[in-house]
Homo-oligomer: A and B are copies of this chain.
Amino acid sequence: MLFTSDNWGGVHPKIMEAILASGVGFAPAYGNDETTKTARDLFEEVFEHEMAVAFVPTGSAANGIGLSLLTPPFGAIVCHEHAHVLIDECGAPEFYTGGAKVLPAAGAFGKMTPDTVRAAMAPYDPPMAHRVKPSVVSLTQATEWGTVYSPDEIGALSNTARSYGMAMHMDGARFAGAVNATGASPADLTWRSGVDILSLGGTKNGCLCAEAVVVFDRSREEELTYRCKRAGLGTSKQRYFSAQWQAYFAEDLWLSLARQSHDQCQRLASAMRASSTIEALVNPAINELFVRMSHETAGTLREAGAQFYDWIQPGDVFAGEARRFLTSWETTDEQLSELAAVLRR
């Protein structure tokens, strides 16, 4: 009963097949191969926009590189106070940007609003040289609490960002889930709503290692390339990584997997809701379920073999009793039934 994280999951057979199929003989290194070129084209197709795109090994690296294209070292990045870029990347944004500051904005269940962004900006408006320069708003889609932004909500945040002269960054580690949840197109959720740069994650959704920095402005390609290179992010045998994207997008595999993960999460939520001692904190829009349960209940579940995370964030309002359960496309009905059985006891 593993509900720890979707990146504990394996590699989807179709992804693995694609990797295998790239395996024979010589091909130009560092992304100059045909597989990579095809993957790049596919990205432009999926997002209906020209772009500069870099394939990198991790989401933290993708976020760091993306943010470094949008803020000077003396700039400020505003994000949700529980954002991965703020809390869970060990300072990667600071490392990649050369020391920009990451400022927290409030918002229920991981979602900033124009108002909470404006509140965060108050001490920086009007800008003055004593204080870092407001440069980027970074939102996570889907958020760290498994909620999603609609295109309209993203558009409103973009307008707020623009009003301060700030750019828009999106951490899309679980972007597929957000596409599935909103029914909006990748384009609607990004550049059409004002997003400048997207970190697109595939690893949590069935890939082996597939993360991308999507820059909806091709003129930034040179800088993107240099920044990845000097961070040592360009794998030499890039084709094996690029091949994953082909399989990922083919026949909308990415969306099927997101749907499947979400379905299992809904089933998990139902099982939880049946328990009187557990409070579902927010309806799961993707494959993440957040519940409140006492340490005793949590202990009982863990003794029965369930694995999941306590969810302690800055400004915790759940007295340390928030817990995160993640499902994946590999989560089986058996696992869910087993957990339900434990809950019923």
Contacts and interface: CB of A to CB of B under 8 A. Distances in A.
Interface of A: 2, 4-5, 7-11, 16, 19-20, 23-30, 56-64, 72-74, 87-92, 94-102, 120, 122-123, 129-133, 203-204, 208-209, 223, 225-227, 229-237, 240-241, 312-314, 316, 330
Copies of this chain in its oligomeric complex:
4
26 contacts: A2-B26, A8-B29, A9-B26, A10-B237, A16-B20, A25-B330, A58-B232, A59-B232, A64-B231, A72-B223, A74-B91, A87-B131, A89-B232, A90-B131, A90-B132, A91-B99, A91-B100, A91-B132, A92-B230, A94-B101, A98-B99, A122-B312, A129-B229, A203-B236, A208-B240, A209-B240
A139 to B, nearest CB: 19
A111 to B, nearest CB: 19
A150 to B, nearest CB: 28
Contacts of A23: 10-11, 16
A241 B209 CA distance: 10
Given A29-B8, A330-B25, A226 B129 contact: yes
Contact of A8 (B16, B26, B312): B26
A60 B235 CA distance: 10
B90 A74 contact: yes
B64 A232 contact: yes
Contact of A57 (B9, B100, B233, B314): B233
Given A87-B131, A237-B11, A240-B208, A61 B26 contact: no
B94 A94 contact: yes
A124 to B, nearest CB: 9
A301 B72 CA distance: 39
Contacts of A72: 223, 226
